[in-house]
Amino acid sequence: MREEVQRMKELQGPRTQLARLEKSIHSELGSLTAGAAPLVDEVRAGVVALFPEPGGTRLAPKEHEARHEKLVQTLDELEEVLEALQLAARSGRSGASPPRGGR
């Protein structure tokens, strides 16, 4: 039972969610993924800082709060960029892979 609980936590963890997001971005946007890469890198750095590996160094409370705020801002910015890139992908620009559903 404990193993199942641990596995569920791992499946829901921030690093796993980030990996899923990156995979989705790549499959949805194809070559346009490069347009979001700098922000995805910032998000990855924020996740690594805020959610260290077991045994890793945790941030001081004020630093944690500041990094969390920065991560939220970066995610908001990434959302806007991804929306713009999706529009470009759907209009067939820049060799992006076709959107899911084949439209």
Report if residue 97 sits inside a domain.
no
Q: Domain total for the chain?
A: 1
Classify residue 69: in a domain, yes or no. Answer: yes
Q: What is the DSSP letter of 33?
A: G
Domain range spanning residue 63?
2-90
Residue 18 within any structural domain of the chain: yes
| Nearest in space to 74 (alpha carbons), one of 95, 52, 47 | 47
Residue 101 included in any domain: no
Q: What is the pLDDT of residue 12?
A: 72
pLDDT of residue 54: 85
Q: Work out the angle between the directed axes of helices 61-90 and 37-50 (0-180°, nearest 10).
A: 150
Q: Are 97 and 27 in contact (CB under 8 A)?
A: yes
Q: Per-residue DSSP letters for 61-72?
A: HHHHHHHHHHHH
pTM for the structure as a whole:
0.75
Average confidence score pLDDT of the chain: 85
Ranges of the chain with pLDDT below 70? 1, 4-11, 93-103
